[in-house]
């Protein structure tokens, strides 16, 4: 059950990071921390149920690996978008990016 507490702490740290940070890169990192917490919850629940049923369940680990690959792809696309915004606007601060120019 320590895994659940650690995963909850990771999600709480991620939510705090998203709410407090004013930089796009910091927000992207906080979202990745939240995804890691959710992945840890999934894998720990899967291992607990597999131990309770006394089965070797590779499905949970396969789903966890799939989520990990999707998170890596999301991070690379998000970082590419941050680099594009930084090149166009010369800033990554959310306060400077809220203005709409038309």
Number of domains in the chain: 1
The owner of tokens 């941050």 is: 82
The verdict on residue 102 lying in a domain is: no
Cα→Cα distances 47→51, 58, 61, Å? 6, 10, 9
Gyration radius (Cα) of the chain, Å:
18
The verdict on residue 61 lying in a domain is: yes
Kindly report the CATH number assigned to the domain that includes residue 16: 1.10.287.3510
The verdict on residue 26 lying in a domain is: yes
Helices within 21-102 (DSSP H only): 24-53, 58-89, 94-97
Per residue of the chain (102 residues), give pLDDT as tens: 788 889 999 999 999 999 999 888 899 999 999 999 988 888 888 777 766 666 656 777 788 888 889 889 989 999 998 899 889 888 888 877 777 665
Domain span at residue 81 reads 2-97
For residues 18 and 78, is the Cβ–Cβ distance under 8 A? no
Q: What are phi and psi of 19, to 5 degrees?
A: -75, -30
The verdict on residue 54 lying in a domain is: yes
């Amino acid at each position: 059950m320590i895994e659940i507490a650690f995963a909850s702490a990771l999600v709480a740290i991620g939510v705090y990071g998203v709410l407090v940070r004013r930089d796009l890169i910091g927000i992207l990192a906080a979202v990745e921390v939240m995804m890691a917490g959710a992945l840890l919850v999934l894998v720990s629940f899967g291992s607990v149920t597999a131990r309770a049923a006394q089965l070797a369940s590779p499905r949970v680990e396969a789903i966890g690996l799939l989520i990990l690959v999707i998170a890596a792809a999301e991070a690379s696309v998000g970082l590419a978008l941050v680099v594009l915004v930084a090149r166009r606007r010369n800033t990554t601060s959310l306060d400077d990016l809220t203005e709409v120019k038309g």
